[in-house]
Amino acid sequence: MASVAVKEPKTAITPKKKTKPSRLCYTPPTNIANSKKKILYTRYDCIGEGGFARCFRVRDDNGNIYAAKVIAKASLQNDKTRQKLFGEIKVHQSMSHPNVVGLIDCFEDKTNVYLVLELCEHKSLMELLRKRKLLTEPEVRFLMLQILGALKYMHNKRVIHRDLKLGNIMLDESNNVKIGDFGLAALLMDDEERKMTICGTPNYIAPEILFNSKEGHSFEVDLWSAGVVMYALLVGKPPFQDKEVKTIYKKIKANSYSFPSNIPISSEAKNLIASLLTQDPSVRPSVDDIANHGFFHSGYMASSLPDDILSTQPVWPSTQSRSSFQRNLDYVASAAGVGFGKSAGIEKNKPYALKTDEGDDEHILPSVLSPRDRVNPVMKIGPETKPSSTKLSSIFEAARKTTEETLPSRVKALKEESRSVPKSKLSRSGTTDYEARSGSVSIANLSDNIVWINIKKTALKIGMGLESRPVASSQEPMTAKNILFITKWVDYSNKYGLGYQLSNESVGVHFNDQTSLVFSADENVIEYITHQKNSEAKHTVFSTSKVPDALKNKIYLLKHFKSYMVQNLSRAVQDETLDDIDIKNAGSMVFMHNYLRTRQAIMFRLSNGTYQFNFVDHVKVVVSPGVQGIMVLDKEKEKMVFTLEEACWFTEDLRSRLKYIREVLESWASKLESAR
């Protein structure tokens, strides 16, 4: 195996003189305050240095740990460098993707500007490659999918990263990709705009940046760099590497690179690298073309990378069933947002304007950049191993075990997560693949306008309530009695679907084929719902004595789900009799429209517009239709109902949960929007 040191010039090249600052910041004080937001950060050790900034581990007053990138104001004396920093912050602020480093906060004091970032515990691919020399193809397959997901997301927002390289691709503690450093990113005003600036890092720079300065460049430059990254991960050094920058450029121009014969690399991998390193940007494949490439459909597909990849080369199983490959691929691709066959459209009507305040000696940051109240939840929809037993009851046991016991131990307290990308390892080994189906299937089939509007409105109302802005309401506030919610559920979606019991005692199953069955509490009525893409669900009602033969199997399963839940599961609330439930809900055939797993919760959306979040710490929050009432079921299964008008009395914990809910809904709505 070749063992070649990986080196890349630290500073990106820019058209004019190097913008390397005269000095990096001094070590900041132990206590750093965002005085506007009244957040105090405690500074710990220095975890990295760039040409422009130093990075320190910091902890906020809630105990969340982040990385603070600290830029000395002394190095921001000229307008160009300031504008560059504003640009970086502004672009970074607009990013919210699981594979992009989250920008949590941004503020300044007299000496420095601070960017508080999601902490990437496992450093960058540069460090990984330094230690490992080479990565295995399954690792590269996994990492490339996440890189492509992040690129697709950026490009949809008309952002070109322009400095994609090993050092800017970091890894979180679960070895998920986090792309950072938007210092050279460009935001295009429209799809036709071309960028003329020559910038990038020599080894990774696309030929059109260097040699086609008249026509400019666009999104394709990032795909070239992704090709360089992929080559480097498999070979151990970038394809055009040389001591002399001039020679690197000559090699890029001549497209002169080869694969060493002593490293076994599959023909699919070589072929993909070759297509990414296509000289002509107009024929370079799009992100989704690449995701459909044979490299992502052969070999071994992992659903996550082992913890110790930094020190140990993983040994992958020599065989993998087609279904396991596909399940893991779907999972990784859907979490990263890489579609198979879907086109990577550019978001329309999103003109960009960087507003800056007029010059102010004291304040480097325009007020539009600071402070920022930002939550960055991650939609994580994730499977893992297949349950070994096929017995219905034991699978149900496994499902409950996963959701009720395993998850909480993997997740930090919610207050930590609300302002950061959580450090949860929910997606890692030990979870079951029940989680996978739900998210991907549900999202794909919910591109319905009405649902989208409902999600948006709910998110908006929650946001307004939290900001104590008056929320228009024409309806009666809800009471605990008339809020309908899910009291029990069991996830068997690796085979059939997800079963649930509602607080009005009706029972339903959301089948994997996008149909639902609901059984009324008195067992006299059965309703069958087919969820159809882009149109309203179709409902058919039967009396229990007259069900069509075609539904007999599903009804059989529904009954199994019901008896399992009745016999094995406790209710989400303290025991109460049917009489306690408002009669308005009894017998109404509300059903679970869809469900979604995030890292911190499972969310159910009921057909009446109720959103229920069962958090991994067992607290449940039910947002009733139109946010007329918010019901909290605490760990002791006690119910409390609030209205948004009471938001100023909410505990920090409830505010955090509602912020999280709002962000999940917003993320979900934008996913639906981009799927339309």
Known binding-site residues for ATP equal 73
- In whole angstroms, give the CA distance from residue 521 to residue 587: 6
- CA 30 to centroid of chain Cα atoms: 32
| CA atoms of 282 and 310, how far apart (whole Å) | 37
Instruction: Give the 3-state secondary structure of residue 200.
Output: strand
Binds ligand ATP by CB under 6 A, chosen from 117, 143, 462, 658: 117
Q: Nearest distance from residue 184's CB to ligand ATP, in Å?
A: 8
Does position 120 bind ligand ATP by CB under 6 A? yes
- Phi, psi of 506, rounded to the nearest 5 degrees: -75, 155
Dihedral angle sign, alpha carbons of residues 54, 59, 60, 61: negative
Residue 299 is a binding residue for ligand ATP (CB under 6 A): no
478 is a contact residue toward ligand ATP (CB under 6 A): no
Which listed residue (60, 163, 448, 491) is catalytic? Answer: 163
By CB under 6 A, residue 52 contacts ligand ATP: yes
User: What are the φ/ψ torsions at residue 341 (nearest 5 degrees)?
Assistant: 90, -20
86 vs 528 by CB, closer to ligand ATP: 86
Structure tokens at 673: 């929007």
Any bridge partners for residue 54, and if so which?
A: 49, 70
Q: Is 163 a known active-site residue?
A: yes
- What's the min distance (Å) between Cβ of 167 and ligand ATP? 6
Q: What is the DSSP string of 3-42?
A: -------SSPB-SSS----S-PPPPPPSEEEETTTTEEEE
Residue 502 touching ligand ATP (CB under 6 A): no
DSSP lists the bridge partners of residue 179 as 100, 169
Query: Is residue 166 at the binding interface for ligand ATP, with CB under 6 A as the rule?
Result: no
At position 58, the amino acid (one-letter code) is V
Closer residue to ligand ATP, CB minimum distance, 122 or 284: 122
List the one residue from 4, 47, 74, 675 that touches ligand ATP (CB under 6 A).
47
The stretch among 51-59, 282-290, 346-354, 365-373 that binds ligand ATP (CB under 6 A) is 51-59
Nearer Cβ to ligand ATP (167/227): 167
- Determine if residue 420 is left, alpha or beta; phi over 0 gives left, psi from -120 to 50 gives alpha, anything else beta: beta
Pairwise CA distance, residues 87 & 76, whole Å: 13
Q: Is residue 48 near ligand ATP by the rule CB under 6 A?
A: yes
276 binds ligand ATP per the rule CB under 6 A: no
Nearer to ligand ATP, 84 or 618 (CB): 84
Binding residues: 73
**CB nearer ligand ATP, residue 127 or residue 653:** 127
Q: Is 69 in the site for ligand ATP (CB under 6 A)?
A: yes
Does 11 engage in binding with ligand ATP (CB under 6 A)? yes
3-state secondary structure of 457: helix
CB 297 within 8 A of CB 340: no
626 within 8 A of 609, measured Cβ to Cβ = yes
Q: How far is the CB of 180 from ligand ATP (least distance, A)?
A: 5
181 binds ligand ATP (CB under 6 A): yes
List the one residue out of 165, 161, 53, 158 whose CA is nearest residue 116. 53
The minimum distance between CB 160 and ligand ATP, in angstroms, equals 16
Return the exposure string of 642-665: e unless at least 16 CB atoms fall within 10 Å of the residue's CB, then b. Answer: bbbeebeebeebbbbbbbbbbbbb
CB 267 → ligand ATP: shortest distance, Å?
34
Determine the interface stretch with ligand ATP among 46-54, 431-439, 446-454, 608-616 (rule: CB under 6 A).
46-54
Whether the CB-CB separation of 144 and 307 falls below 8 Å is answered with: no
Q: Which stretches of 337-417 are DSSP H helices?
A: 392-400, 407-410, 414-417
Q: Of the listed pieces 45-53, 341-349, 532-540, 541-549, which binds ligand ATP according to CB under 6 A?
A: 45-53
Contact residue for ligand ATP among 10, 36, 250, 538 (CB under 6 A): 10
List residues near ligand ATP by CB under 6 A.
10-11, 47-53, 55, 67, 69, 101, 117-120, 123, 167, 170, 180-181, 183
Catalytic positions are 163
